[in-house]
Amino acid sequence: MMNMNRRLNGSARLMLVSDLDCTMVDHDAPDNLSLLRFNALWESYYRHDSLLVYSTGRTPITYKPLRNQKPLLTPDITILSVGTEIMYGGGDDMVPDLGWQQFISHRWDRAIVVEETNQFPQLIPQAEKNQRPHKVSFKVDKVMALEIMNALSERLEKRGVDINIIYSRGVDLDILPKRADKGQALAYLLKKFNNEEKLPHDTLVCGDSGNDAELFSLPQVYGVMVSNAQEDLLQWYAENVSDNPDMLHATERCAAGIIQAIGHFHLGPNVSPRDLKDFRKCKVEMSSPAHEVTKFYLFYERWRRAEVEKSEEYMQNLKSVLQSSGIFVHPSGVDLPIHQCIDSLARLHGDKQGKQFWTWLDRLSSVQIGSNAWLVKFNKWELCENERRCCLTTVLMSSKGEGPDDFTWLHMHQTWLYGLEIKEPERWLF
* Residue 282 backbone phi and psi in degrees, to 5: -65, 145
Nearer to ligand GLC, 41 or 175 (CB): 175
The DSSP bridge pattern shows strands 77-80 and 51-55 to be: parallel
Q: Which amino acid, 353?
A: Q
57 binds, among ligand GLC, Mg ion, none (CB under 5 to 8 A by kind): ligand GLC
We find the least distance from the C-beta atom of residue 164 to ligand GLC, in angstroms, to be 12
We find the least distance from the C-beta atom of residue 221 to ligand GLC, in angstroms, to be 20
Q: How far, in Å, CA of 172 to CA of 166, rounded? A: 8
We find the least distance from the C-beta atom of residue 209 to Mg ion, in angstroms, to be 5
Nearer to Mg ion, 230 or 393 (CB): 230
379 binds, among Mg ion, ligand GLC, none (CB under 5 to 8 A by kind): none
62 binds, among Mg ion, ligand GLC, none (CB under 5 to 8 A by kind): ligand GLC
- Which residue ranges make up the site for ligand GLC (CB under 6 A)? 57-58, 62, 82, 126, 130, 137, 166, 168, 172, 174, 211
Residue 173 · residue 186 · CB < 8 Å: no
Residue 393 · residue 412 · CB < 8 Å: yes
58 binds, among Mg ion, ligand GLC, none (CB under 5 to 8 A by kind): ligand GLC
Nearer to Mg ion, 19 or 174 (CB): 19
19 binds, among Mg ion, ligand GLC, none (CB under 5 to 8 A by kind): Mg ion
x-or-dash string of contact with Mg ion, 207-236, rule CB under 5 A: -xx---------------------------
H or E element that contains 358:
strand 357-370
Stretch that binds Mg ion, among 13-21, 64-72, 270-278, 364-372 (CB under 5 A): 13-21
Nearer to ligand GLC, 211 or 272 (CB): 211
22 binds, among ligand GLC, Mg ion, none (CB under 5 to 8 A by kind): Mg ion
* Residue 128 backbone phi and psi in degrees, to 5: -55, -35
Residue 205 · residue 17 · CB < 8 Å: yes
Cβ–Cβ contacts within 10 Å for residue 168, how many?
A: 19
Nearer to Mg ion, 22 or 163 (CB): 22
26 binds, among Mg ion, ligand GLC, none (CB under 5 to 8 A by kind): none
Which among 29, 5, 47, 414 has a CA at the least distance from the CA of 257?
A: 29
Nearer to ligand GLC, 20 or 383 (CB): 20
Which among 131, 37, 120, 144 has a CA at the least distance from the CA of 80?
A: 131
H-helix segments, 305-378: 312-321, 338-347
The DSSP-derived string for 198-237 is: ---SEEEEEE-SGGGHHHHTSTT-EEEE-TT--HHHHHHH
Stretch that binds Mg ion, among 146-154, 206-214, 261-269, 358-366 (CB under 5 A): 206-214
Spatial CB neighbours of 181, under 8 Å, sequence gap ≥ 6 = 82, 83, 164, 166, 211, 214
Nearer to ligand GLC, 117 or 414 (CB): 117
Q: What is the DSSP letter of 246?
A: T
H or E element that contains 238:
helix 231-240
H or E element that contains 193:
helix 182-195
We find the least distance from the C-beta atom of residue 167 to ligand GLC, in angstroms, to be 8
Kindly state whether residue 21 participates in binding Mg ion, applying the rule CB under 5 A.
Answer: yes
We find the least distance from the C-beta atom of residue 59 to ligand GLC, in angstroms, to be 7
Nearer to Mg ion, 212 or 362 (CB): 212
* Residues found near Mg ion in the complex (CB under 5 A): 19, 21-22, 208-209
